Amino acid sequence: MKTSTLLFTLAVLLMGCKDRVKEKPNKEPKETTYTEQYRPQFHFSPPEKWMNDPNGLVYNQGVYHLFYQYYPDDIVWGPMHWGHATSKDMVHWEHKPIALYPDERGLIFSGSAVVDKNNTSGFSNNGEAPLVAIFTYHSMEGEKAGRTDFQTQGIAYSLDNGETWTKYEGNPVIGNNGIKDFRDPKVFWHKDSQKWILTLVAGDHAKFYASKNLKDWEHLSDFGKTQGAHGGVWECPDLFRLPVEGTDEEKWVLIISINPGAPNGGSGTQYFIGDFDGQKFTSDQKEPKWLDYGTDNYAGITYNNTPNDERIFIGWMSNWDYARNTPTQKWRSAMTVPRELSLKKMGDDIVLTNYPLKQLEVLTSHVLAENVQMGSGASDTLVVDGLNQSQIELETASKNFTLIFKNDLDETLELTMDANNNTFIVDRTKSGSVDFQSEFGNKKHFMPMGMLNDGTHKIKILLDWSSIEVFMNEGVYVMTEQLFPTEPYNTLIVQNGSDESEIRLESIKHMESVW
Ligand code: FRU
């Protein structure tokens, strides 16, 4: 063989070895009517099969991408793929073919996505900024063999704004030295150091890494072994900077999901307020702060590259305590509505608030009730037909009241403000189908509210066919809960437990379906 032919053959062979894995041919997403029992009307849910964490939240060229942990063959958790949907307005969603499939390195666990504007990765050959997804490979073989290094971090890129994906030939980009839980990389571009910063979780703490090209990563520091909640494993971190409203200060926020160990059982999301200097995250905070006191807001992360730098958060509206057994048939699980995160000063403290995006207001249509004054001391009953899927807004000077949502089968959900104990209570124990698993309906859920201020409380409630989201004082206190009433609730009863103060029901508006 001539030398030149030999060299050519060798080159071809080498290129073949570099398993540049192009994702499998696209399977078209299945059609559905979105009218099945319990089907969320204005929350994202997959057309069919199992979904958990949101992944790869990124905005690019007018499109908000939502990738998600997806098992396309069953309605229980299984070998993970990245499902995909896109939105232009964060209200309506278009289902896309599966973006990432498991391969010989493992299943595709949670992670993030960035727009590599300067092509630091060198993946682009067409002048387009590549979208780069950074995810965890989970090797089932490794896990089954009892090894501890079965989770590693890999990357994939897209040169057509998320339509098709190619896995990087040099994966994994972060190997594992024997840490059993080592996952969920969240990456962002850190302007000050002109580097990509990656946060991942390693069992009971977070680890930070830096890179110039998304391929070579240097370990920077760790955080959290002795801070915050540690009732379970840390998952799905997110690190970002936000202005503190009403000040010229900025703070860094580290979000950490934890399972189990949440205040009302199972999975929950804590956060730390602190500083990040490009190397280290520091926070004085010893005790956990909770982003949501409800049982159903987990593994949430925020968007990269939003048009005006808004911090938009989406969480998985479920809980590992019972997620696999909720009584839906065709699909399982939904996402929270997208929420904007902000930092607010409360006395000496800084809190992270989360509140539905303004855009969701486009879904409010006919008014079911407006400007209703509920008398003080009285047990006023307001019956609203077709409550069903609605947005409820009220203002109250009363610090003792109960809202009862009810259907014709007498299934009820009760929300109570208890001023004596500075507590807000969700009681879903009689809310409909509750006994599919004892952890779902066996107890009331509590949210401590600090000292209640003297002023009025503003409450916004989003009720969908199988969830309720309660936002008090513009997202300072939040509870997100799944519900499975046999029929949607059509009646709201407001009971004022205070002799002096009134409750003003601003409005109840029907929410249109987005499907
Ligand atoms: C969180 C989580 C992640 C993991 C993924 C697997 O719900 O356990 O830590 O990457 O789900 O589906």
Q: What is the pLDDT along the chain (515 residues), one digit of tens a residue?
A: 333 333 333 333 333 333 345 565 455 555 678 999 999 999 999 999 999 999 999 999 999 999 999 999 999 999 999 999 999 999 999 999 999 999 999 999 999 999 999 999 999 998 989 999 999 999 999 999 999 999 999 999 999 999 999 999 999 999 999 999 999 999 999 999 999 999 999 999 999 999 999 999 999 999 999 999 999 999 999 999 999 999 999 999 999 999 999 999 999 999 999 999 999 999 999 999 999 999 999 999 999 999 999 999 999 999 999 999 999 999 999 999 999 999 999 989 999 999 999 999 999 999 999 998 877 765 666 777 789 999 999 998 888 899 999 999 999 999 999 988 989 999 999 999 999 999 999 999 999 987 666 678 899 999 999 999 999 999 999 999 999 999 999 989 888 888 778 889 999 999 999 99
Residues 265 and 396 in one domain: no
Q: Catalytic residues, which ones?
A: 53
* Residues forming beta bridges with residue 479, ordered by sequence position: 470
Closest Cα to residue 197, out of 255, 157, 225, 238? 238
- What is the C-alpha to C-alpha distance for residues 461 and 505, in angstroms, rounded to an integer? 12
**Which residue's C-alpha comes closest to atom 6 of ligand 1?**
109
- What is the C-alpha to C-alpha distance for residues 110 and 496, in angstroms, rounded to an integer? 45
Instruction: List ligand 1's pocket residues with C-beta within 6 A.
Output: 52-53, 69, 80, 109-110, 136, 183-184, 235-236, 299
| The token pair that represents 93 in the structure block | 């969603």
- What is the CA(401)–ligand 1 centre distance, in A? 38
- Cβ atoms of 335 and 317 within 8 Å: the answer is yes
Q: How many CB atoms lie within 10 A of CB 61?
A: 10
CATH number at residue 440: 2.60.120.560
Q: Is residue 341 included in any domain, yes or no?
A: no
| The token pair that represents 250 in the structure block | 């900025």
**Distances in Å between the alpha carbon of 453 and those of 319, 422, 423, 431, 458?**
31, 10, 13, 30, 12
Q: What pLDDT shows up at residue 8?
A: 35
Residues 202 and 286 in one domain: yes
- What is the CA(368)–ligand 1 centre distance, in A? 40
- What is the CA(475)–ligand 1 centre distance, in A? 26
- The residue whose CB lies within 8 Å of the most ligand 1 atoms, and thus the one to mutate among 53, 238, 269, is 53
- Cβ atoms of 413 and 468 within 8 Å: the answer is yes
Residues 55 and 193 in one domain: yes
- What is the C-alpha to C-alpha distance for residues 201 and 308, in angstroms, rounded to an integer? 28
- What is the CA(257)–ligand 1 centre distance, in A? 10
| The token pair that represents 129 in the structure block | 């900024």
* Residues forming beta bridges with residue 328, ordered by sequence position: none
Q: Is residue 354 included in any domain, yes or no?
A: no
- The residue whose CB lies within 8 Å of the most ligand 1 atoms, and thus the one to mutate among 68, 107, 109, 258, is 109
| DSSP structure class, residue 335 | B
- What is the CA(110)–ligand 1 centre distance, in A? 6
Q: Is residue 405 included in any domain, yes or no?
A: yes
| DSSP structure class, residue 73 | T
Q: Is residue 35 included in any domain, yes or no?
A: no
Q: Is residue 242 included in any domain, yes or no?
A: yes
Q: What pLDDT shows up at residue 1?
A: 35
Q: How many CB atoms lie within 10 A of CB 469?
A: 25
- What is the C-alpha to C-alpha distance for residues 398 and 499, in angstroms, rounded to an integer? 9
- What is the C-alpha to C-alpha distance for residues 46 and 34, in angstroms, rounded to an integer? 10
Torsion of CA 228, 233, 237, 243, to 10 degrees: -20
Residues 309 and 388 in one domain: no
- What is the CA(55)–ligand 1 centre distance, in A? 10
Torsion of CA 163, 235, 105, 148, to 10 degrees: 180
Residues 378 and 475 in one domain: yes
Q: Record the pTM.
A: 0.94
Q: Is residue 41 included in any domain, yes or no?
A: no
Q: Is residue 498 included in any domain, yes or no?
A: yes
201 Cα nearest atom in ligand 1: 9
- What is the CA(464)–ligand 1 centre distance, in A? 25
Query: What's phi and psi for 142, nearest 5 deg?
Result: -60, -45
Closest Cα to residue 466, out of 139, 34, 121? 34
In DSSP notation, 360-418 reads: GGGGEEEEEEEEEEEPSSS--EE--TT-SSEEEEEEES-SEEEEEEE-TT--EEEEEEE
236 Cα nearest atom in ligand 1: 9
69 Cα nearest atom in ligand 1: 12
- What is the C-alpha to C-alpha distance for residues 3 and 289, in angstroms, rounded to an integer? 67
Residues 429 and 323 in one domain: no
Residues 228 and 317 in one domain: yes
State yes or no: cis peptide before 172, omega within 30 of 0: yes
- The residue whose CB lies within 8 Å of the most ligand 1 atoms, and thus the one to mutate among 108, 136, 152, 184, is 184
CATH number at residue 222: 2.115.10.20
| The token pair that represents 19 in the structure block | 């398993």
Q: Which domain holds residue 282?
A: 49-336
77 Cα nearest atom in ligand 1: 12
**Which residue's C-alpha comes closest to atom 8 of ligand 1?**
235
Residues 160 and 303 in one domain: yes
- What is the CA(453)–ligand 1 centre distance, in A? 38
Residues 55 and 9 in one domain: no
Residues 205 and 322 in one domain: yes
Q: How are beta strands 423-427 and 166-167 bridged, if at all?
A: unpaired
Residues 169 and 211 in one domain: yes
What 3-state class would DSSP assign to 307? Answer: coil
HSE-up of residue 286 (Cα within 13 Å, Cβ side) = 0
- What is the CA(240)–ligand 1 centre distance, in A? 21
**Which residue's C-alpha comes closest to atom 9 of ligand 1?**
235
257 Cα nearest atom in ligand 1: 1
Closest Cα to residue 389, out of 322, 514, 489, 515? 489
- What is the C-alpha to C-alpha distance for residues 266 and 174, in angstroms, rounded to an integer? 29
Return the residue matching tokens 């965890």.
Answer: 136
80 Cα nearest atom in ligand 1: 12
Residues 294 and 392 in one domain: no
53 Cα nearest atom in ligand 1: 7
Q: Is residue 409 included in any domain, yes or no?
A: yes
- The residue whose CB lies within 8 Å of the most ligand 1 atoms, and thus the one to mutate among 49, 50, 52, 112, is 52
Closest Cα to residue 402, out of 412, 389, 410? 412
For the chain, the domain total comes to 2
- Strand ranges (DSSP E) for 195-267? 195-201, 206-211, 218-223, 233-243, 250-259
